[in-house]
């Protein structure tokens, strides 16, 4: 019988999740949003799914086997905790929670539950990422890495970027951006790349960070960090709300890459804009010092959202545990919390 899935949060991410589930034959049995208008606005996507205005009611009984958590990050903890308590498998959007501390608590809860849990770092599912992982031994010991995530913003470029009300706090109330993402570009853009860093290079050890934001903004538009990994490799992180409209591999303002420098060569993986996964496929560029050649590897277009959801469903059905899981989400959140702490104090943070 097809797996029955519920979606909590019927905002922009919900439709990507619904399409992914349908593509692998799962049934969207229920959707939940505290704001009925959000549900109504996207109702045609949800077919015959039952609507709930409370996740607790949706988790009762056997209406669903699994749930996608597609609400803002600060709501993840309570919803994931309730889902695993009710024995539901969970695919949770990133980031896991709003802090390393909360994520440690949640990862612990999830670890004790007898369910499958996956976190939505879907870039792991691009063939280019999988190939880069395969190629790692070819570049030898990695001594440094660079992460660049320069992301354009809703078609707004140049000076307009530095006077957006959605990034300004008012009367001590966090800006909509901060409330949504629990941070700025390090969190929104950097989190995916930090997850890849963890995939490629293992555990982080020490974080030093400095952030920049326009006047009155309460979240960084330029987040910068230097991370020493447990392996000894040094990582430069640069995540930015990009003012440039015609930069990047595909000349569309999206300029995102992770570069891994090893003793024997280097690997660069270039990623396309996140919400049009069908448009471009990420690229791998491999330089090999022994042959002194550079090879550009191209891949078929794969929708990483579909791929991650197909893996999630297959794992739920077979009883395997998904990767990336809660402990992987925790690593990213520990790095992010350390970045914000370091940027606030000017001190390096040891993890």
Ligand X SMILES: NC(=O)c1ccc[n+]([C@@H]2O[C@H](COP(=O)([O-])OP(=O)(O)OC[C@H]3O[C@@H](n4cnc5c(N)ncnc54)[C@H](O)[C@@H]3O)[C@@H](O)[C@H]2O)c1
Output 288 or 323, the one with its CB closest to ligand X.
Answer: 323
Q: How far is the CB of 9 from ligand X (least distance, A)?
A: 3
Output 9 or 329, the one with its CB closest to ligand X.
Answer: 9
What string marks each residue from 30 to 59 as x (binds ligand X by CB under 6 A) or -? --xxxx--x----------------x----
Dihedrals phi, psi of 170, to nearest 5 degrees: -125, 130
Q: How far is the CB of 10 from ligand X (least distance, A)?
A: 5
Q: Which of 30, 58, 64, 71 binds ligand X (CB under 6 A)?
A: 71
Total residues interacting with ligand X, rule: CB under 6 A: 22
Examine residue 12 and tell whether it contacts ligand X (CB under 6 A).
Answer: yes
CB–CB of 16/22 below 8 Å? Answer: no
Q: Which of 3, 4, 10, 286 binds ligand X (CB under 6 A)?
A: 10
Q: Which of 22, 72, 111, 252 binds ligand X (CB under 6 A)?
A: 72
Examine residue 8 and tell whether it contacts ligand X (CB under 6 A).
Answer: yes
Q: How far apart are CA 216 and CA 305, in angstroms?
A: 35
Q: How far apart are CA 226 and CA 197, in angstroms?
A: 12
Q: What angle do CA 121, 238, 94 make, to 5 degrees?
A: 20
Examine residue 73 and tell whether it contacts ligand X (CB under 6 A).
Answer: yes
Q: How far is the CB of 215 from ligand X (least distance, A)?
A: 26
Q: Which stretch binds ligand X (CB under 6 A): 7-15, 143-151, 229-237, 294-302?
A: 7-15
Q: How far is the CB of 350 from ligand X (least distance, A)?
A: 27
Q: How far is the CB of 54 from ligand X (least distance, A)?
A: 7
Q: Which stretch binds ligand X (CB under 6 A): 67-75, 152-160, 211-219, 285-293?
A: 67-75
Q: How far is the CB of 120 from ligand X (least distance, A)?
A: 5
- Applying the rule CB under 6 A, the residues between 222 and 251 that interact with ligand X are none
Dihedrals phi, psi of 342, to nearest 5 degrees: -65, -45
- Applying the rule CB under 6 A, the residues between 116 and 135 that interact with ligand X are 120, 122
Examine residue 324 and tell whether it contacts ligand X (CB under 6 A).
Answer: no
Q: How far is the CB of 246 from ligand X (least distance, A)?
A: 23
Q: How far apart are CA 231 and CA 144, in angstroms?
A: 10
In which element (H, E) is residue 120 found? none
Q: How far apart are CA 102 and CA 197, in angstroms?
A: 21
Q: Is 333 helix (H, G, I), strand (E, B) or coil?
A: helix
Output 135 or 193, the one with its CB closest to ligand X.
Answer: 193
Q: Which of 21, 28, 66, 93 binds ligand X (CB under 6 A)?
A: 93
Output 9 or 127, the one with its CB closest to ligand X.
Answer: 9
What string marks each residue from 273 to 312 as x (binds ligand X by CB under 6 A) or -? -x--------------------------------------
In which element (H, E) is residue 201 found? helix 191-201
Cis preceding linkage at 81, omega within 30:
no
- In the complex, residue closest to ligand X by CB: 11
Q: How far is the CB of 160 from ligand X (least distance, A)?
A: 21
- Tell me which residues touch ligand X (CB under 6 A): 8-13, 32-35, 38, 55, 70-73, 75, 93-94, 120, 122, 274
């Amino acid at each position: 019988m097809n797996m029955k899935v519920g979606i909590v949060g019927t905002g922009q991410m919900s439709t990507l999740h619904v399409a992914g589930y349908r593509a692998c034959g799962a049934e969207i049995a229920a959707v939940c949003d505290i704001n009925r208008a959000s549900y109504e606005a996207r109702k045609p996507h949800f077919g015959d799914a039952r609507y709930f205005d409370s996740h607790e009611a949706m988790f009762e009984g056997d209406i669903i086997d699994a749930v996608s958590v597609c609400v803002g990050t600060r709501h993840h903890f309570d919803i994931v905790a309730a889902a695993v308590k009710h024995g539901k498998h969970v695919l949770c959007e990133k980031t896991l929670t709003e802090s390393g501390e909360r994520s440690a608590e949640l990862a612990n809860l999830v670890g004790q539950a007898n369910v499958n849990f996956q976190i939505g770092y879907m870039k792991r599912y691009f063939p280019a990422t999988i190939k880069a992982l395969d190629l790692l031994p070819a570049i030898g010991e990695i001594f440094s890495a660079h992460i660049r995530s320069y992301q354009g913003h809703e078609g707004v470029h140049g000076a307009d970027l530095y006077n957006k009300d959605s990034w300004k706090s008012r009367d001590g109330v966090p800006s909509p951006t901060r409330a949504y993402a629990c941070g700025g570009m390090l969190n929104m853009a950097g989190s995916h790349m930090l997850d890849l860093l963890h995939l490629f290079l293992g555990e982080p050890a020490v974080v030093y960070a400095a952030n920049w934001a326009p006047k009155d903004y309460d979240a960084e538009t330029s987040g910068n960090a230097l991370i020493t990994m447990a392996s000894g490799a040094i990582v430069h992180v640069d995540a930015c709300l990009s003012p440039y409209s015609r930069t990047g591999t595909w000349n569309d303002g999206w300029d995102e890459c992770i570069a891994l420098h090893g003793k024997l060569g280097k690997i660069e993986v270039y990623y396309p804009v996140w919400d049009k996964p069908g448009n471009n496929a990420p690229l791998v560029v491999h330089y090999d010092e022994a042959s002194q050649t550079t090879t550009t590897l191209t891949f078929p277009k794969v929708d990483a959202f579909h791929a991650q959801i197909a893996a999630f469903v297959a794992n739920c059905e077979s009883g395997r545990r998904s990767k990336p899981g809660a402990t992987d989400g925790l690593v990213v959140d520990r790095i992010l919390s350390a970045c914000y702490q370091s940027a606030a104090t000017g001190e390096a943070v040891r993890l």
